[in-house]
Amino acid sequence: MADRETPVLELNNLRKSFGALKATDDVSLTLRAGEVHALIGPNGAGKSTLMAQISGRTLPDAGRIRFQGREITRLNEVRRAQLGLGRSFQISSLIPEYSARRNVMLALQARQSHSFRFFKPTLWDRVLIEGADDILERVGLRGRASVPSAELSHGERRLLEIAVALALEPKCFLLDEPMAGMGAEGAGQLVSFLRELKTQAPILLVEHDMDAVFALADRLSVLVYGRIIASGSVEEIRNDPQVREAYLGDSA
Ligand SMILES: Nc1ncnc2c1ncn2[C@@H]1O[C@H](COP(=O)(O)OP(=O)(O)OP(=O)(O)O)[C@@H](O)[C@H]1O
């Protein structure tokens, strides 16, 4: 079992090629309790491929992944999710015709069905409804609980995806571009929310919105052509000449 010193997530020398293309080239990084570790880099740098290897959607060619001190390199995606590895938000898991509340209830049910199987169905429903509404309240969607997810705005759907992830109580969140399409106000709210969320479980964040990254990240790793060219604090990364040249340019 992991203690405070053990990284929640640890990648060692991961490699993944597509033909001659090295999409992940000897990548090592850690995610520690309480932090947001942002992964940034230009289009095609290999960020999604790396996230896919962590979630279990893709298997690496070489290297090792440990989660809470346990080797998970060859486990499938479902098994990793059961261990508490939060899924990526780019794959939408929402059921469009179901209300926001029902989508969260499904996730709660998936997690709790074992412990609550002796409950009467009516009581079981109440537990699920109250649990779902509490989570919707946390993400600011309580007032939209009865709206089918297909009728929510884009920003609201992203928040609902986070609510679904929260319901699964992961031990670590893998967030793939959560700010995409959010608009300035929505992005600001999401930044505040993620700041609170990281105290519940650390976040590995792939994000192109540099304002959000600089506001949130405790550490950053910069990926270019499948390799990590720099890792460090926001300050260190912003001042790194190699990073400025390869990626940040004027936005630093
Ligand atoms: N299944 C695949 N087969 C072949 N090549 C792939 C496959 N998946 C990704 N690639 C290639 O691997 C490289 C890394 O892609 P990836 O999508 O991981 O980058 P990214 O950093 O996530 O990009 P973006 O910021 O645009 O999402 C790219 O050159 C891409 O074309």
Q: Which of 169, 185, 217 is the last residue of a domain?
A: 169
* Ligand 1 atom having least distance to the Cα of 52: 18
- 52 and 112, same structural domain? no
- 80 and 128, same structural domain? no
**How many angstroms separate the alpha carbon of residue 23 from the centre of ligand 1?**
7
- 5 and 50, same structural domain? yes
Q: Which of 122, 140, 169 is the last residue of a domain?
A: 169
12, 151, 206 from 59: Cα distances, Å: 14, 36, 19
38, 44, 60, 71, 218 from 234: Cα distances, Å: 10, 22, 29, 30, 7
**How many angstroms separate the alpha carbon of residue 132 from the centre of ligand 1?**
35
**How many angstroms separate the alpha carbon of residue 24 from the centre of ligand 1?**
10
- 153 and 96, same structural domain? yes
- 121 and 156, same structural domain? yes
ipTM exceeds 0.90, yes or no: yes
- 34 and 10, same structural domain? yes
* Ligand 1 atom having least distance to the Cα of 46: 18
- Cβ neighbors of 25 (< 8 A, separation 6 or more) are 15, 46, 225, 226, 227
- 114 and 194, same structural domain? no
54, 122, 127, 186, 245 from 102: Cα distances, Å: 28, 15, 13, 23, 47
Q: Supply the range of the domain harboring residue 130.
A: 92-169
- 115 and 14, same structural domain? no
d(CA 67, CA 141) in angstroms, rounded, equals 31
* Residues with pLDDT less than 70, the chain: 1-4, 87-92, 112-122, 249-252
Q: What is the CATH number of the domain that holds 225?
A: 3.40.50.300
Confidence at residue 121, expressed as pLDDT on a 0 to 100 scale: 66
Pocket residues: Cβ below 6 A from ligand 1: 18, 21, 23, 41, 43-49
| Beta-ladder partners of 14 | 27
What's the structural domain count of the chain?
A: 2
- 76 and 186, same structural domain? yes
* Ligand 1 atom having least distance to the Cα of 177: 27
- 76 and 11, same structural domain? yes
Letter for the amino acid at 24? Answer: T
- 175 and 82, same structural domain? yes
Q: Which of 106, 138, 169 is the last residue of a domain?
A: 169
Question: pLDDT, tens digit, for every residue of 63-112?
Answer: 999 999 999 999 998 888 888 887 654 445 788 999 999 999 988 887 76
Q: Give me the sheet containing 62-67, strands edge to edge.
A: 21-31, 9-18, 62-67, 70-71
- Nearest residue CA, atom 28 of ligand 1? 44
* Single pTM value for the model: 0.83
- 76 and 20, same structural domain? yes
d(CA 203, CA 41) in angstroms, rounded, equals 17
* Ligand 1 atom having least distance to the Cα of 19: 4
